[in-house]
A and B are shown apart, each in its own frame.
Chain A
């Protein structure tokens, strides 16, 4: 209760979100975790530095940078031209082209907001000029822009894959693939809506193969990027992280040398603009990890699962409840923070009810997509109101029909898991159709925070920094003992403190350091060449 009051007070004062999250984490550890000293509170820094062991996290800045570089060029215009040439001839073609351009651009930028700004900025005047009604245009563009969440490489998906672990862990490559089906489904529904609601605007142009070819050639380097990224990832040429670095180099080469819409002089400004946004986002995510860790240590997921069982919801009812919860959460919270904060509670409960973690991940992301459009904290609505220069209230009303479509899409994605997981398992040769609950329900698994950490044996007590350091030390000692006995060393996940072990209890840092020093001296005395390695 005090924690909630503190959070509300800080929010009401207008403190930055990262301060609110950081203070909430620290306070939770202090009051509920029993971590009362400064040394104990270092757990927050430990969780921040944990990203140095999460390779997938590297993809976030790289995709942000490549998206920024591509957006600063004239890729959006090329994609719009191509989409117009491809589908502009049909009834409501220009509106369908806008949806298609949003999907293609989302596959380049990985961000809903960037997609809305880039495509919306071009298509809003074009659509209204062609006779489409303003509310329809605004609603369609704001909703299609939010597809950036679902189309790979999606930043929320990357964050989701980092936030879950243990039995609920998902491979980011599989999550990307799982997002494609729902993305196409929702894009298809929006296109259908565009065709049906086109009204008097029948078609904007005749189909011309010559124009299609011309716009395809002009946009080929932009259209090739999603192919390069996804083809590279699924062709096992590179990992998602490596794909992100390749996409940065590709974006620089294409925009500066081929499209020539950016000069090398302009590049630093473009990148630096995104660094500031990245920094603001990263601090929130990193501090959220400490709350994520706290909730795992406190076994909040177990309580949530017990509650679900008491309510007797079953998998279907649980998913419905989750959807309601996440939509409401999305209305009041930033999507990325919501992912980091709530996945450790929801994912284990869902897994133990037999729901596929990949399916849950996609449902989670679709909910966050709705969150981008649901007031009062609706990022895409704010952006739409700004770039289209229309009142927020008008934009909110305009988006209601397409928000309804998105909700229908959410229900379909939730209750037909094949839409998301089918392609993934089909590629693995496990069949396309997937039942709603696939896995055997297991008794209350508790997820691990971060990479491989597991909770302490006694819930209610969080591992202290000393305990973590001790665990790491023990591992090193075991490895040294193995090495001394002539066995091959076993690779440890990281040399840093990792809360994966459950040591009995707790030396002070000084005692630990002393013990380590003594051990090294003994080793040095026993053998002239030290055998221990980190």
Chain B
């Protein structure tokens, strides 16, 4: 029964984590793309202005888009030509694909600038909040997978007879610690919640990312409690007391 519950939680954790990571990476990437293509004077323009004695307006209006398009096209072409497909993409097809991809990228960038005129300025803050969740969920998954770092001296220093019980106590200490940390997290979140509620939702939100702080921090106790559950299930409540064979035979 406990194992089935754990399996269900684990499956949910995997899905949630993947979604969060995809959101984090995409949000920060789109923010970079938006900022770079929204700059009044970009790096390419700076380089061209430095080396060419042409009017700034001509460079900005004509030359930069052409150079950008050529660069994008070149990269896409190189990508298609070196793509390890079976059979290899022939030159003419690669040219066509590269042109289509480059045009697609132009449309994508224009669409990005049009749909998000102010960009995703909150992206990094949002990603950091998500990182907190991902980190804690990851720690909870690590508990199930036995991935937490442990100095395995216990196997060497304790007599074989009491070793399994020591392991149970160690798992118990982890259960108590996780539950204690979850309690502290709940208590800390409650201050932010009160702050947010009492201020008619004006205070108690992140700067630059309009999410209530309590909502982000309020999630932390969940993976901590799951970790405690897992340490309890796999350590404290485990009936598999691995008494060494020599011991068993005696």
**A contact set with B: CB distance below 8 Å:** 10-19, 22-23, 26, 38-39, 41-42, 44-46, 48-49, 51-55, 57-58, 61-62, 65, 217-218, 220-221, 235-238, 241-242, 245-246, 248-249, 253, 257-261, 268, 271-272, 275-280, 282-284, 286, 334, 377, 465, 469, 476, 492, 494-496, 509, 513, 516-517, 520, 530, 532-534
Contact of B154 among A14, A221, A261 (CB under 8 A): A14
Known: A62-B25, A494-B207. A12 touches B157 (CB 8 A): yes
Known: A284-B149, A465-B188. A51 touches B141 (CB 8 A): no
Whose C-beta in chain B lies nearest to the C-beta of A521? B198
Known: A276-B142, A476-B203, A520-B199. A10 touches B134 (CB 8 A): no
Contact residues of B between 153 and 192, Cβ < 8 Å to A: 153-155, 157-158, 166-167, 169-170, 173-174, 177, 180-181, 183-185, 187-188, 191
A14 to B173, CA, bound (A): 10
Q: In the complex, what residues of A have CB within 8 A of residue B243's CB? A: none
**B contact set with A: CB distance below 8 Å:** 14, 17-18, 21, 24-26, 28-29, 31-32, 36, 43, 78-79, 82-85, 124-125, 127-129, 131-132, 134-142, 145, 147-155, 157-158, 166-167, 169-170, 173-174, 177, 180-181, 183-185, 187-188, 191, 194-195, 198-200, 202-207, 213, 216-217, 220
Whose C-beta in chain B lies nearest to the C-beta of A237? B43
Q: In the complex, what residues of B have CB within 8 A of residue A61's CB? A: 21, 24, 131, 134-135
Whose C-beta in chain A lies nearest to the C-beta of B139? A279
A53 to B125, CA, bound (A): 7
Is the pair A15, B205 in contact by a Cβ cutoff of 8 Å?
no
Q: How far is the CB of A168 from chain B (nearest CB, A)?
A: 23
| 12 A-B pairs with C-beta separation under 8 A | A12-B154, A19-B177, A52-B129, A58-B128, A242-B28, A245-B24, A258-B83, A259-B84, A277-B142, A280-B147, A516-B203, A534-B204
* Other A-B pairs beyond A277-B142, A279-B134, A476-B203, 13, CB < 8 Å: A10-B170, A14-B153, A18-B149, A48-B132, A52-B216, A220-B82, A241-B124, A260-B85, A279-B137, A279-B138, A282-B139, A283-B135, A495-B207
Known: A258-B79, A533-B202. A14 touches B151 (CB 8 A): yes
Interface of B is mostly: helix
Is the pair B32, A49 in contact by a Cβ cutoff of 8 Å?
no
A13 to B128, CA, bound (A): 34
Q: In the complex, what residues of B have CB within 8 A of residue A284's CB? A: 149
Is the pair A513, B194 in contact by a Cβ cutoff of 8 Å?
yes
Q: How far is the CB of B153 from chain A (nearest CB, A)?
A: 6
A294 to B216, CA, bound (A): 25
Whose C-beta in chain B lies nearest to the C-beta of A23? B177
Is the pair A16, B36 in contact by a Cβ cutoff of 8 Å?
no
Whose C-beta in chain B lies nearest to the C-beta of A379? B149
Contact of A260 among B29, B84, B136, B205 (CB under 8 A): B84
A267 to B86, CA, bound (A): 21
A494 to B209, CA, bound (A): 11
Q: In the complex, what residues of B have CB within 8 A of residue A218's CB? A: 82
Q: How far is the CB of B225 from chain A (nearest CB, A)?
A: 14
A258 to B82, CA, bound (A): 7
Whose C-beta in chain B lies nearest to the C-beta of A273? B145
Known: A276-B138, A495-B206. A235 touches B43 (CB 8 A): yes
Is the pair B131, A51 in contact by a Cβ cutoff of 8 Å?
yes
Whose C-beta in chain A lies nearest to the C-beta of B168? A13
Q: In the complex, what residues of A have CB within 8 A of residue B154's CB? A: 12-14
Q: In the complex, what residues of B have CB within 8 A of residue A44's CB? A: 181, 184
Is the pair B142, A279 in contact by a Cβ cutoff of 8 Å?
yes
Whose C-beta in chain B lies nearest to the C-beta of A46? B188
Is the pair B125, A52 in contact by a Cβ cutoff of 8 Å?
yes
A55 to B155, CA, bound (A): 40
Is the pair B135, A58 in contact by a Cβ cutoff of 8 Å?
no
Is the pair B32, A65 in contact by a Cβ cutoff of 8 Å?
no
Known: A38-B187, A217-B82, A275-B141. A280 touches B153 (CB 8 A): no
Contact of B153 among A12, A51, A221, A530 (CB under 8 A): A12
Is the pair B28, A241 in contact by a Cβ cutoff of 8 Å?
yes
A527 to B86, CA, bound (A): 71
Q: How far is the CB of A287 from chain B (nearest CB, A)?
A: 9
Q: In the complex, what residues of B have CB within 8 A of residue A517's CB? A: 198-199
Q: How far is the CB of B103 from chain A (nearest CB, A)?
A: 17
Q: In the complex, what residues of A have CB within 8 A of residue B127's CB? A: 58, 245
Contact of B148 among A17, A258, A492, A530 (CB under 8 A): A17
Q: In the complex, what residues of A have CB within 8 A of residue B200's CB? A: 520
Contact of A242 among B32, B136, B207 (CB under 8 A): B32
A469 to B78, CA, bound (A): 55
Which residue of A13, A218, A242 has the most chain B CB atoms within 10 A of its CB atom? A13
Contact of B174 among A15, A53, A237, A495 (CB under 8 A): A15
Is the pair B29, A249 in contact by a Cβ cutoff of 8 Å?
yes
A45 to B125, CA, bound (A): 18
Is the pair A279, B173 in contact by a Cβ cutoff of 8 Å?
no
Is the pair A513, B195 in contact by a Cβ cutoff of 8 Å?
yes
Is the pair B18, A272 in contact by a Cβ cutoff of 8 Å?
yes
Q: In the complex, what residues of A have CB within 8 A of residue B149's CB? A: 16-18, 280, 284, 334
A62 to B123, CA, bound (A): 14
Contact of A38 among B79, B132, B183 (CB under 8 A): B183
Q: In the complex, what residues of A have CB within 8 A of residue B25's CB? A: 62, 65, 245, 248-249
Contact of A534 among B31, B157, B180, B203 (CB under 8 A): B203
Q: How far is the CB of B91 from chain A (nearest CB, A)?
A: 15
Q: In the complex, what residues of B have CB within 8 A of residue A49's CB? A: 132, 188, 217, 220
A61 to B194, CA, bound (A): 32
Is the pair A280, B124 in contact by a Cβ cutoff of 8 Å?
no
Known: A38-B187, A257-B79, A509-B191. A15 touches B173 (CB 8 A): yes
A520 to B199, CA, bound (A): 7
Whose C-beta in chain A lies nearest to the C-beta of B17? A275
Whose C-beta in chain B lies nearest to the C-beta of A53? B128
